[in-house]
Amino acid sequence: MKEQVSKEYVDVDYTLTHVPMSARKNWISIFAVLLGFTFIVTTMAAGASLGTSLKLSDLIKVLLVGNLILSTYVGVLCWISAKTGLNAIILARYALGKVGSKWTGIILGGTQVFWYAFQAAYMGKVFTLGLGLEAYFIPITIFWSLFMGSFAIWGTKGMEIVAYASIPPFLYLAYKIPSVSVETAGGFRELFAIEPTTTITFAAAITIIIGAFISGGTQAPNWARFAKTPKTGFAVGFFAFLIGNIVMAISGMLGGLVMQEADMVEVLMKLGIIVMAMLILIFNIWTTNTTAAYSFGIAGAEFFNKPNKVPFVIGGLIIATIMAVTGIYEVFIPFLSFLGVFVPSLGGLIIGDYIFNWRKSFPTVESVKFRVVRYSNLIAYILATLGAYLSSIFDIGLPPLNGILLGIGLVFVMDKIFNFLSIDDRHEVPTDSEYSKNIS
């Protein structure tokens, strides 16, 4: 009986294997889920924090550069996932090996637990402040955390339903915040004249913009793998993230700029739209937290090699709920900077490994005898991450972009070094193995 239930689950989510063509979805449904995923209050909150540190002209530059880098990165990962039919963590198994990929599960699954916790805390804060129920923050936060996460157990179908419902009302909020901000400032000319009360470097600002959704972007393949063609995978990933992140960030930026307030909840209250925002944010946070819970469920399933995400969704919900009621809200911006430095190199590694090692013939996950650790790529990842970190310390270029490019390039360099030293670091692929032909 257990075996039968497990097989039925795998047929739905394809957690540890390729998504067959028969299970591929229309681009609209994938785009809706990814767009709903990007309508995330954390991006708006990141924008608000930057709104107190830069003039509007500089904010626009940061917004465009940061989101073009992020969206291109996401689009390439989505192209690879649609081509192979695999999620990001299984792709990392090809790059880092059976045990090496566990780090991917920890960092991606762990960051999604953090996102979930932050947004559950945000929901609790919005409701308690909006309704004057500050004394009930803990029970209200616990309720919303458990309620939202339950929809991830349904899988992609449950997320599609919530995504379609959330987009129209949140687009209204994304319009309302800028319009009220412009009105409050007295016009566009006055907006451009506002001087920030704090300072931040251009590179650090872009790192925060990219860090606001780099973890989620690295996990976009969880949904793009259902796309029917690689071109469709790239397009839905690129445009969903470009549109969604720009809309969210500019809303937060304008509110933070006008009010010179870094806390997005306080911005909403000062703009006088907290009650309306409270209603709309139910759908927004519900959407993004459902997809976050799905992501850490997938990560847990791969980590323990179990084709069932449900136990890991439940476990992640418990951890996230505890974090939400114990102060996770206070460490938001430092965490974004951390993600902007340490996550991009991981995605760059996956991209580089596919380009240089698997592009011409991608063996099915069932046919590969995976090494425990692929040390060439592990060294490449460590060096790329170190390079991104040092570039943030010494203000050299853009740390997230440095991490991506170093991750891609060092895969090639380390492979050549290992070949020169006659060290065989590749997975064992039988000559008669099957190759993934889901996409022509």
pLDDT digits (tens, 9 = 90+) for 179-219: 888 888 888 889 888 988 888 999 989 998 888 788 778 88
Q: What is the chain's Cα-based Rg?
A: 21
Go through the chain and tell me how many residues it has. Answer: 440
Q: Which two tokens stand for residue 27?
A: 């681009």
pLDDT of residue 11: 43
* Residue 86's pLDDT band (cuts 50, 70, 90): very high
Phi-psi region of 371 (alpha: psi -120 to 50; beta: other; left: phi over 0): beta
Lowest mean pLDDT among 77-91, 233-247, 321-335: 321-335
Note the pLDDT of residue 371: 94
Is 50 exceeded by the pLDDT of residue 164? yes
Both tokens of 163, joined, read: 């995504």
Which DSSP string corresponds to 317-381? HHHHHHHHTTTGGGGHHHHHHHHHHHSHHHHHHHHHHIIIIISS--B-TTT-B--S--HHHHHHH
pLDDT confidence of residue 1: 44
Per the listing, tokens 């459902």 go with 290
Contact assessment for residue 248 and residue 216, using Cβ atoms and an 8 Å cutoff: no
Count the Cβ atoms, other than its own, within 10 Å of residue 224: 32
- The residue that leads in pLDDT, 216 or 383, is 383
What share of the chain in percent tops pLDDT 90?
A: 33
**What is the pLDDT averaged over residues 32-36?**
83
pLDDT over 50 (residue 7) = no
| pLDDT at 163 (0 to 100) | 63
- Residue (of 292, 262, 255) closest to 111 by Cα position: 292
- pLDDT class for 24, splitting at 50, 70, 90? very high
Least confident of 54-68, 207-221, 280-294, 345-359: 280-294
Average pLDDT, the chain: 84
Topology of domain 2-333, CATH: Hydantoin permease (1.10.4160)
pLDDT category, 355, cuts 50, 70, 90?
A: very high
- Alpha-carbon distance of 266 to 376, in angstroms, equals 48
Q: Which residue has the tokens 């963590």?
A: 89
- Give 380's pLDDT tier (boundaries 50, 70, 90): very high
Residue with tokens 């880098």: 69
Contact 358/365 with Cβ under 8 angstroms?
Answer: no
Gap between the Cα atoms of 391 and 338, Å rounded: 13
The tokens 């294997």 sit on which residue? Answer: 17
Interval 151-175 mean pLDDT = 67
